[in-house]
A and B are shown apart, each in its own frame.
Chain A
Amino acid sequence: MQDQVSDYLTRLLQSQSNAKGLDWLGKQTQIISTTAVPVKLYLAFSQSSRFFKKAKLTLSREQIDQADHLTPGLQPQFWDELQTARTVLLLSYQAEKETWFNTINQLFETADMYEHQALFAALPVLPFQEDLIPRAIDGLRTNISLVFDAIALNNPFPAKYFPQANWNQLVLKAIFMQRPLYRIKGLEERRNPALAAIARDFAHERWAAGRDVMPEIWRLVSPFVDENYLADLKKTLQTQDNLQMKAALLALRESAYLPAQELLESYPNQVSTLDMDTLAWESIGSEFQRTRV
């Protein structure tokens, strides 16, 4: 599987990176895979910035599907050339577990910001996944949004492996840092009552401080709407803010709670303009990012 992913990522680079960089990368992966000497990996990993730019990859529809087929949820369309080259280097280093972790831990502990980005985004394609969970959890303590995003956004790793408490911390921190929630993989599937309560407390704190609430947080609430949440959604509907209202209506529409359905019926015109659920949340999230963050 590692080889398949590596071949796939190399092909992505071949369609847009310069020949000199590709030639260098080919030589480095050859040396690293045949010798497995950590220093060769360390040097190549950091020096990649001399050969590859931080230019976003451009993927065809077919290439996007291929990525998902190789590793469910993998989205290299959000990666740049430099981190892709670094991921190819990581995959070329193969060793038994203890040796592999000694080497990779050094990379994590000495990484600069862009190296961290590459390492964390690569988690879903690295070996020994379960043993990498503490590393991912620790990585989320960063407040560099570039590094946080590499773990939290467009990355299937947390939803697949995080225990609920850590998952909830990830989502709450994303809210706190005003990151786009719709880009968190598995957000909908891993909604839970504890997270809904955390979101609600957060909203109350914001209101108490006279601040706006990120509209996407109501997506976390919708499966659990009861009379308390309904009061919050009513309050949100009264903000007269288009994005907030849309989010509250979506949450009501997703809820099976009868009073929620009744409340929804009093907004027939607004409801008729809403997209399908996933699309609607995405458009609210992206508009909020574009206009408010």
Chain B
Amino acid sequence: MYIDPHIHVVSRTTDDYEAMRKAGIVAVIEPAFWLGQPRTEVGSFKDYFSTLVGWERFRASQFGIVHYCTMGLNSKEANNEALAEQVMELLPLYVGKEGVVAIGEIGYDDQTEAEDKFYRLQLELAKDVDLPVLIHTPHRDKRKGTIRSMDVSEEHGLDPKMVIVDHNNEETVKEVLERGYYAGFTIYPHTKMGSERMVEIVRQYGPERIIVNSAADWGISDPLAVPKTADLMRKSGIPEEHIKLVTYQNALTAFGQSGQMDEQDWLNAAPLDQTKKMSGNSVLRGGQTPRVEGPSDIVEN
């Protein structure tokens, strides 16, 4: 069993969902992020947030995958300050909902003043509602941005154990772990980590507080990055218990601090039933036969 604790499944197809399920992914976390196309109206955020707790959660369930999400204003769009203010007013409507496991992904992109302002406001929100925080670290000037994210988080009094610092690399991992944070690694071709580098990191730093994810989205990315990296670790002689920690258990422990994510959610899930419908839409179209199965069909690893 695997958890992909960072994937933007709204951008993925049902083929992906089926492949993920077959590869052993039982649960995913979808962080609220930007959509490629910048939003210009607060209503676009509202419907997106509703999709994360509504339609997408239902869609995932039809493929036997439990869907959680994080809620937040991403750093890129924090730079549209007038809009960002309105999004901040919207967030309290969503952060307390069932299955919202963190505030995120928040942090820095260009490390502007506006980004800093809304990052801090959302750290305070996370403290108010007692949720973990998922930090997006920048692509550019990464090391400095990562350290600044942690400094500011500590300035606001957050316990590092409640914070997952994501998109780490060889340059950031040491400090993130030493300061007591969870360290997320994104296996994303060309821009972030490759799976071979990931194997070396687990070999060097051990499995404690390390979390592997795909961050698969609308770009060239791989929704099977987590199971594929686990396979590579296996072939490279990483002990099975370490693989389990970095591809399953650590994510559950970290995001489970929300009280909104429990192993029983997938171990005791209702049998898969694609005949259920939601909001007048089924993921099945005319002429397709629903796949209905019993609990014994869970793909074990």
Q: Residues of A contacting B129 with CB < 8 Å? A: 43, 47
Query: A28 to nearest B CB, angstroms?
Result: 11
A42 in contact with B49 given A112-B97, A142-B280, A143-B279 (CB within 8 Å): no
**Is B210 close to A, CB under 8 A?**
no
Q: Does A160 touch B at the CB level, under 8 Å?
A: no
Interface centre among A39, A45, A141, A143, by most B CB within 10 Å? Answer: A143
A27 on the B face (CB < 8 A): no
A144 within 8 A of B: yes
B264-297: which have CB < 8 Å to A?
276-282
Q: Considering only CB atoms, which chain B residue lies closest to A109 in the complex?
A: B46
* B279, A144: Cβ atoms closer than 8 Å: yes
Task: Return B199 CB to nearest CB of chain A, in Å.
Answer: 39
0/1 interface trace, chain B 86-116, chain A, CB 8 Å (1 if under)? 0000101111111000000000000000000
Taking the nearest CB of chain B, how far is it from the CB of A118, in angstroms? 12
Q: Is the CB of B280 within 8 A of A49?
A: no
> A19 at interface (Cβ–Cβ under 8 A)?
no
**A242 contacts B by Cβ under 8 Å:** no
Cβ of B50 within 8 Å of any chain A Cβ, yes or no, is yes
Candidates B95, B98, B280, B282; contact of A112 at CB < 8 Å = B98
Residues of A with C-beta under 8 A to B95: 43, 46
Contact assessment for A143 and B281 in the assembled complex, using a CB-CB cutoff below 8 Å: yes
Q: Mark A37-80, 1 if CB is under 8 A from B, else 0.
A: 00100111111011000000000000000000000000000000
What's the Cα separation between A142 and B282 when bound, in Å? 11
Question: A143's contact among B53, B98, B277, by CB below 8 Å, is which?
Answer: B277
B40-72 contacts to A, CB under 8 A, are 46, 49-50, 53-54, 57-58
* B93: A residues at CB distance < 8 A: 42, 46, 106-107, 110
A143/B50 contact (C-beta < 8 A), A46-B97, A50-B259, A110-B94 known = no
Q: Which of A133-148 contact B (CB under 8 A)?
A: 141-145
- A interface bracket (residues with beta carbon within 8 Å of B): 20 to 34
**Cβ-based interface call for A114 (8 A):** yes
A197 at the interface (CB under 8 A from B): no
- Please, how many angstroms separate the alpha-carbon atoms of A142 and B279 in the complex? 4
CB distance from B273 to the nearest CB of A (A): 12
Give B281's nearest chain A residue, CB to CB: A143
A95 an interface residue at 8 Å Cβ cutoff? no
Complex alpha-carbon distance, A186 and B90, angstroms: 39
Decide if B50 touches A109 in the complex (CB within 8 Å): yes
Whether A39 contacts B92 in the complex (CB less than 8 A), given A110-B46, A112-B53, A112-B98, comes out as: yes
Contacts of B278 in A (CB 8 A): 113, 142-144
The smallest C-beta distance from B20 to any residue of chain A, in angstroms, reads 23
Instruction: Report the separation of the CA atoms of residues A84 and B53 in the bound assembly, to the nearest whole angstrom.
Output: 21
**Bound complex: CA of A47 vs CA of B129, how far in Å?**
9
Once A42-B92, A43-B96 are accepted as A-B contacts, the answer to whether A112 and B281 lie under 8 Å apart by CB is: no
Which residues of chain A are within 8 angstroms of B58 by Cβ–Cβ distance?
Answer: 113, 144
- The 8 A CB mask of A92-111 against B (1 = contact, 0 = none) is 00000000000000110110
Q: List 14 A-B contacts (CB under 8 A).
A: A47-B96, A106-B93, A110-B50, A110-B94, A112-B57, A112-B97, A112-B98, A114-B98, A115-B97, A141-B279, A142-B279, A143-B277, A144-B278, A145-B277
Interfacial residues, chain B to chain A (CB-CB below 8 A): 46, 49-50, 53-54, 57-58, 90, 92-98, 129, 259, 276-282
Give chain A's interface residues, CB within 8 Å of chain B: 39, 42-47, 49-50, 106-107, 109-110, 112-115, 141-145
